Amino acid sequence: GAVVSQHPSRVICKSGTSVKIECRSLDFQATTMFWYRQFPKKSLMLMATSNEGSKATYEQGVEKDKFLINHASLTLSTLTVTSAHPEDSSFYICSATGTSGRINEQFFGPGTRLTVL
Amino acid sequence: SQQGEEDPQALSIQEGENATMNCSYKTSINNLQWYRQNSGRGLVHLILIRSNEREKHSGRLRVTLDTSKKSSSLLITASRAADTASYFCATDGGGFKTIFGAGTRLFVKA
């Protein structure tokens, strides 16, 4: 299957700083990328959907000024957590989709663990 | 709620036993998928079942789908300790987004 990478795999930062997480599709062009967050022992919650070259669509309750998403190319999307606080500590997972036949297949990155001190 | 429901939330079985996990969802779907996640890791896609399919097999996995009840089940036969993980169902909600269920944490004792 297609490969999606995330960088960094884990990051620790101080409260008030901003952190950027990259999501790359390595061997296919991703028309759409999704960003999820996952709290310990919980499920994945969709944060936003981003299409290359356009503004991201955020899910209800997700602050777009807090979680900045840029999808500048068909292989790269970035999530920037601005002015991070300890409650932003979470596991962030991206996924990317191209098309395969009539069903859009979604490929997940390995996740980024963010710890805000 | 964004999520569907899964039961049980946690399941502990002995190696060799079968494990059954259930998932219910809320909206019409085009397909339903099951994923596995080892602790602190990314997701591994297990199987996709389309809305016009009722059952699908892949190795030791068997998935059923009942669209009239908006439910699906994942059966893992002859479980192994290495099957210990969290299992999530995910639906497309009839659209383009993937919506995850709450997940079942499976623990297989050796």
Q: What is the pLDDT of residues A42-64, one digit of tens each?
A: 899 999 999 888 889 999 999 99
Whether residue B96 and residue A46 make contact (CB cut-off 8 A), yes or no, is: no
Contact partners, residue B68, CB within 8 Å, separation at least 6: none
Quote the CA–CA distance of A109 and B9 in Å, as a whole number: 24
Q: Per residue in A64-84, pLDDT tens?
A: 999 999 988 889 999 999 999
pLDDT bin (cut points 50, 70, 90) of residue A36 is very high
Closest partner CB to B88 (pick from A43, A91, A110): A43
Mean pLDDT (chain A, rounded): 90
Closest partner CB to B42 (pick from A45, A103, A108): A108
Indicate if the alpha-carbon torsion angle B58, A111, A28, A64 is positive or negative.
positive
Q: Per residue in A81-109, pLDDT tens?
A: 999 999 999 999 999 987 654 456 788 99
Looking at the predicted structure, is the pLDDT value of residue B14 above 60?
A: yes
Q: What is the mean pLDDT of residues B81-104?
A: 88
Looking at the predicted structure, is the pLDDT value of residue B63 above 50?
A: yes
pLDDT of residue A51: 86
pLDDT of residue B7: 79
Whether residue A43 and residue B102 make contact (CB cut-off 8 A), yes or no, is: yes
Write out chain B residues lying below 8 Å of A89, CB-based: none
Q: Does B2 touch chain A (CB under 8 A)?
A: yes
Q: What is the mean pLDDT of residues B10-19?
A: 96
Q: Are strands A76-81 and A67-73 parallel, antiparallel or unpaired?
A: antiparallel
Query: Tokens 């893992």 label which residue?
Result: B76
pLDDT of residue A104: 60
pLDDT bin (cut points 50, 70, 90) of residue B6 is confident
pLDDT of residue A54: 83
pLDDT of residue B15: 97
Quote the CA–CA distance of B51 and B7 in Å, as a whole number: 21
pLDDT of residue B94: 65
Contact partners, residue B10, CB within 8 Å, separation at least 6: B104, B105, B106, B107
Write out chain B residues lying below 8 Å of A2, CB-based: none
pLDDT of residue B1: 39
